[in-house]
Structure formats: C-alpha cells, structure tokens
Amino acid sequence: MPQRLRNYLPILDWGRSYNKATLSNDLMAAVIVTIMLIPQSLAYALLAGLPPEAGLYASIVPILLYAVFGTSRALAVGPVAVVSLMTAAALGNIADQGTMGYAVAALTLAFLSGVILLTMGVFKLGFLANFLSHPVIAGFITASGVIIAASQIKHILGISASGDNLISLLVSLWQNLGNTNWVTVIIGVSATAFLFWVRRGLKPFLKSKGASARVADVATKAGPVAAVVLTTVAVWILGLADMGVRIVGSVPQSLPPLTLPDFSLDMMGSLLLPAILISVIGFVESISVAQTLAAKRRQRINPDQELIGLGTANIGAAFTGGFPVTGGFARSVVNFDAGAETPAAGAFTAVGLAIAALALTPLVFFLPQATLAATIIVAVLTLVDFSILKKSWAYSKADFAAVLATMLVTLGDGVELGVTCGVILSIFLHLYKTTRPHIAEVGLVPGTEHFRNIHRHKVETDPTLLTLRIDESLYFANAHFLEDYIYDRLADDKKLKNVVLMCSAINEIDLSALESLEAVNARLRDMGIQLHLSEVKGPVMDRLKKQHFIDDLTGRVFLSQHEAYRALTTQTG
C-alpha cells in the first residue's frame, strides 16, 4: 500500500493491526460514549437553535467520516458547546429559529466550514491556527462558557429570553422574570444540582460503598442519562407538561436524512466569515485535545490530516441534516479513559447513536427542556477558567490585556466579534513582540568561552568592542529597531572601534533587514568603526553572500563569538 495513500487514509494504517482485544476495548468505550452523547447531542442542538434530532444526526455520519480520515485514536467528533453557540449567533442574522431557512442555513454553515478545513488540510495550512495564542483562546472560551450558561437560564426558569451577549441576555431575563414557571424551576434546579453532584461526588460515594473504579466511572459518565430518565418519567406520570413545563416533544424516528445546503452566492457570502471563525476555533479546540491525548500514549497527530478529517466530517454533517462539528474535549476524554484504542470506537459510537435515532426517540417526548439546559450548564462551566487572568497578569501584562479584552468583547458584543478580536489581538501581540526583538550586550564569562548579558552576569568586556546578541530573526518590521538601537548605543561612546553582531539566534534576514544592515555598515564605516558578524547560520550566510553583503562588510565573519573576542579585544590583539 503506497505510503502517500495511507497518509490520507489513516484507517489503512491502524486497520492492519486491528484484533479482538482492540475490538473489545473499542466496543466498551463506544457504549460509554454513546450513553453520554445521547442527552448531550440533544442539548447542543437546542443550544444551536435547531430541532433536537439535528444533534443526533450531527453525531453519526461525521463520526464515521472522521474514523476514516482522522489521525487521533481517541478524538470524539460531534457538536460542542462553543461551536453550537457560534452557530446560533451566525444563523440568528439569517433566519428565525424553527424555520426551514434556519435549518438550511445550518447545513450551509457546516458545508462552508468543511470546505475551509479541507482546503487548509490539502494545502497544509494548519500552521495558521497558531496565530491564535493560548491565553486569548482561554479567555474566549471562558467568556463563551459564561454566555452559554446564561443563555440556558431561560429554560431553567421556563421563560422566553433572547440575546447575543451577556448584557442583552441578562436584560431579557430580567424583563421576563415575572413569567417564571416554578414547576420548571424545580425540575431545572434539581437536575443541575444532581448533575453537579454526579460529576464530583458520585464516584467517591460508589467507591466508598465497595464499587470498582470501572463501575464508578461508568456510573458517573451515565449521570446525564439518569437525569434524563428521572425527569422524563416525572413529567409523564405527573402530567407536568399541562402545567407549563416545556418538553422536547415529537422527535422523528429515523436515520439521518439526505439534505442539501444552500449554494446561492448570497447565503454563502453571509455565512463565510462565521464559517471561517467556527473552522479556526473548532480546529484549535480539536487539535489541542487530540495532541494532549496522543501524548499520553506516545502517539503522533498530523495537524494537516486532522484538518482533512474535520473537513470531511463537517461536509458529511451538511448532507445529513446536521450542523458544524468538531472534536469535543469532554467526550474525547471520556472516550480515552474508557479505553478506546482506535477511531473504530467512534464508528461504533455512530452505530449506537443510529440505533438511538431509530428506536429511542419516542422515549424523549416528555423530556423537559430544563434538563437539557442543566446538562449544558454543567458541561460548559468546566470550561470557565478565570484563573487565566491572574496567571497572565503575573506572567505578561501584554497577554493579560489581550485576554481581558477578548473576554470583555465576547461578553459585551457576542462570540463572533469576540473571536475576531481574539484573532486580531493574537496577531498584534506576535507583531508587537517581534518588532521589538530582545537585544543583549554580551561579554565573556571568565574562565569559559561563553558570552552572557552584561546586566545579568559578571563578565569581561573591552571598551573598544561592542558585542550585541540579537534574539530574533530580522525582517521588515524590526530591522529599523536594531538600526536605531545600534546608533543610540554608539552615540555617547567614543572609544568603540569594533561592533560584533552575534547571530546565533537569527534564522532569517529578509531584504528589508539586509538593507538596514547595509546602512549600518556604511554609517559605521564613516565613523571609523568596523562591523563584524559571528555565529551566522548557513542558510543566512548563503543569502548574505548572494547579495554581496559579505564582500562589502567592513569587518570579518567569525565562526564563534569567542574567536571574535580574542581577535578584536585590545588585551589580546
């Protein structure tokens, strides 16, 4: 089998070594994840503003496609909280919830997201996601978690409320507070409290009663199912729907249907920007989870192939009644902990969900929406981490400003503007840091051949020699910073005869930076000072020679800084 084909179809790689033991582990993981995904899929469809069955549909074919094209052995693909919220925010400007236009727009959004991810994967553009810094992503996800939790309070209270950001949501909730249905409140609060207890207290409780770790773990993962069953039975037996408790109602009893996105230019143009943002956020969340889990088993993830896997999964969702999907943190960790060894576990999960879509949907008719809201609230509050503010403040004030700005914009203006702000701030931070490269004046550590910053170490220096270590590649945005630094340093020092640029950290010099070096070389020549280079890397030297800079250099190029020091210092010279 050609290696190139196996690269694009990882199933051909792991499938060759599949055996009975692996099958057993994958089946067990699939059972656990399926139990978890049934209520979660329904809940995330509700969050996206779509019928509950859309959550099941989005969790079947996408998982199968990822199993064929994805490289992670444990990543579980499907609807996730943040992407579902972004979907609702994007579609709210296109059509009203509950209409056919809204559902078609969701298909189109999934299709566009899939095409974007697939294109990035084919052209190996996964590195573009690196422009989103982790602190900014953490700030965005924290703010999104708060908005998601706030958006579900209306279901807990049994009232109507709307809003794209935290402020508008809270105002709408306050205005409709008088319509609170107290029966719904009892159900919602009880379900939320129960799920919090299940998440934190059930496992220790079961272990204290003698249950094995595996049994306690499975019971904890099945907590949401227990909440669904108990509240559904209560609504059915007590007739609570007649008392104003909102229920899921009729859910089609079928496999995912064949659907078509809207390929019109108007629809595509309206959804292009949200699709890009959803693709980037979804990929960053997915790849971070996949790489974390892979590292625990000393496995490797191919980011570009992950883009292809996620792209095909989203395209699959677009043609089978779903909405945008990505790799979810919670379900992937559950899949990993349950013992999944290959993507086949995801395929078995898809089969389980298909069976649920065919046979179990009538059982959720009386399921209260408050229970699904409780499921979402408990799930997303694990994403909220305000400690990133304290951590970033202590480490870098610039990162803190970016995190805080992203949080405030997301909370105040919604997720789309928030993630856009995050992208812009991440790029701005990168440019800001690289436009002001760290430049250290270095001297010789006594008794060694090492050179260190004169302000941090006791080192030997020479009054006629200035050595500057540049800790960044030189390009158009920072070239003049180096030029000005050198001129300012030379302005008040009449004894200097030689300047050495220590280039050990320079990986590239672009044409603008080369012109700045030529200007520095010429000006130093007029001042009677020689310019030298040391520890220049091979590829950088090749470019400098090609442009004849080395021929015009007033000084020399030294193999090491120690060689330059010995040759130029007045004590030995």
pLDDT band at residue 165 under the 50/70/90 scheme: confident
Region 539-566 average pLDDT: 93
Dihedral sign computed on CA atoms, order 172, 175, 179, 183: positive
Q: Largest Cα–Cα distance in the chain? A: 98
Instruction: Please say whether the beta carbons of 306 and 121 come within 8 A.
Output: yes
- Over range 116-139, report the average pLDDT: 83
User: The domain spanning residue 545 has which CATH number?
Assistant: 3.30.750.24
Mean pLDDT of all residues belonging to the chain: 88
Is there a single domain that holds both residue 404 and residue 500? no
| Residues constituting the chain | 573
Which of 213-217, 324-328, 567-571 holds the top average pLDDT?
A: 324-328
Q: For residue 477, give both structure tokens.
A: 């945005």
Model pLDDT, residue 3:
59
Residue 1: pLDDT over 60: no
Give 488-512 as a DSSP string. HHHHT-SS--EEEEE-TT---B-HH
Do the Cβ atoms of 188 and 373 come closer than 8 Å?
yes
283 & 410 share domain: yes
Q: Which domain holds residue 497?
A: 439-568
Q: pLDDT tens for residues 488-525?
A: 998 877 889 999 999 999 999 999 999 999 999 999 99
Domain co-membership, 353 together with 447: no
Picking from 406, 428, 450, the residue at the C-terminal end of a domain is 428
Asked if the structure places residue 5 within a domain, the reply is no
CA quadruple 292, 297, 300, 301: dihedral sign: negative
- pLDDT band for position 2 (cuts 50, 70, 90): low
Are residue 461 and residue 534 in the same domain, yes or no?
yes
CA pair distance 226, 567, nearest whole angstrom: 79
Choice between 246 and 3, residue whose per-residue pLDDT is larger: 246
C-beta neighbour count of 183 within 10 angstroms: 18
Does residue 464 share a domain with residue 408? no
Q: What's the number of domains the chain is made of? A: 2
Residue 11 domain-assigned?
no
Query: 456 and 339 in one domain?
Result: no
pLDDT one-digit tens code per residue, 22-43 = 888 888 888 878 877 888 898 8
pLDDT digits (tens, 9 = 90+) for 169-205: 999 999 999 999 999 999 999 999 998 898 888 888 8
Q: What is the rounded average pLDDT of the residues 324-339?
A: 83
Beta strand 451-453 with 498-502 is: unpaired
| Residue 299 is assigned to a structural domain of this protein | yes
Do 402 and 478 lie in a common domain? Answer: no
Whether 276 is covered by a domain: the verdict is: yes
The answer to whether residues 424 and 444 belong to one domain is: no
Contact 409, 417 (CB under 8 A): yes
- The verdict on residue 6 lying in a domain is no
On the question of pLDDT at 573 being above 50, the answer is: no
Q: Residue 546 domain-assigned?
A: yes
Pair 234, 351 in one domain: yes
Cβ-Cβ contacts under 8 Å for 432 (sequence gap 6 or more): 398
Tokens of 484: 């000005």
pLDDT digits (tens, 9 = 90+) for 215-257: 787 777 777 888 888 999 999 999 999 998 998 888 888 999 9
DSSP label at residue 222: T
Helical residues (DSSP H) of 248-396, grouped into ranges: 265-296, 303-318, 329-337, 344-359, 369-381, 387-395
pLDDT (mean) for 329-356: 85
Q: Residue 521: enclosing H or E segment and its boundaries?
A: helix 511-526
Q: Is residue 329 part of a domain?
A: yes
Higher-pLDDT residue of 450, 338: 450
Element (H, E) at 63: helix 61-69
Final residue before a domain boundary, out of 394, 428, 462? 428
Q: What percent of the chain has pLDDT over 70?
A: 97
Q: In terms of domains, do 511 and 386 share one?
A: no
Q: In the listed set 407, 428, 449, which residue is the last one of a domain according to the structure? A: 428
Q: Do 415 and 445 fall into the same domain?
A: no
**Do 158 and 198 have their domain in common?**
yes
The answer to whether position 14 is within a domain reads no
